[in-house]
Amino acid sequence: MSGTGRPEEHAVDAAGLRVGIVATRWNADVVEPMLARAREALAHWGAEEPDVVHVAGAVELPVVAQQFARTRDAVVALGAVIRGGTPHFDYVCQSLTQGLTEVALAESTPVANGVLTCDTQEQARDRAGLPGSREDKGWEAATAAVDTAAVLRGLRTAGGERVAG
């Protein structure tokens, strides 16, 4: 795991932002702590209480993310895909990544990809924001979503004026 190049966290003004979180039921031992950390991040930055739904697996994330993106300021997708012994892992990861990206662009709404794609359960736990984890992807994904939504809010309310940043 790298972490190299990670920016310093900065204050995010997420006041009034409405967020939807869609999380998988697969690998709940990893995903549920990520969900808790994402909720904590949103509260920390001042976003409204998020709407949360669960779906079966990672391939189902984009379609629910799209529905949220139509009525929310930002979306956070959470899950964990663990490599198995077949190419299924590659298809799932590619499909969900492409799907979430397409949703964000089609709906002009930030969709944070907080789906862990790991070789082992241990790697996933080390990224899930658990006590002793080296990373906290639930917090990071939620922060990225509202940070981007705040940037878009600023651009959209600037009335076409040049915005310094």
* 26 labeled part of a ligand binding site: yes
* 81 labeled part of a ligand binding site: yes
Decide if 88 is catalytic.
Answer: yes
* 113 labeled part of a ligand binding site: yes
The one catalytic residue in 10, 44, 54, 88 is 88
Measured CA angle at 140 (ends 30, 136), to 5 deg: 40
CA-CA distance, 156 to 153, in Å (whole number)?
A: 5
* 151 burial level (CB within 10 Å; 0-12, 13-18, 19+): middle
CB atoms within 10 A of CB 70: 12
Asked if residue 21 lies in contact with residue 35, where contact means CB atoms within 8 angstroms, the answer is yes
* 27 labeled part of a ligand binding site: no
* 60 labeled part of a ligand binding site: yes
* 21 labeled part of a ligand binding site: no
Q: Between the CA of residue 124 and those of 5, 37, 127, what are the distances in Å?
A: 20, 15, 5
Residue 16: which residues within 8 A CB-CB, separation 6 or more? 46, 47, 48
Q: Hey, what are 143's tokens?
A: 């922060």
* 86 labeled part of a ligand binding site: yes
Residues serving a catalytic function are 88
Q: Residues marked as binding?
A: 26, 58-60, 80-82, 85-86, 113, 127
Residue positions in the annotated binding site for (2S)-2-hydroxy-3-oxobutyl phosphate?
A: 85-86, 127
Indicate the annotated binding residues for 5-amino-6-(D-ribitylamino)uracil.
Answer: 26, 58-60, 80-82, 113
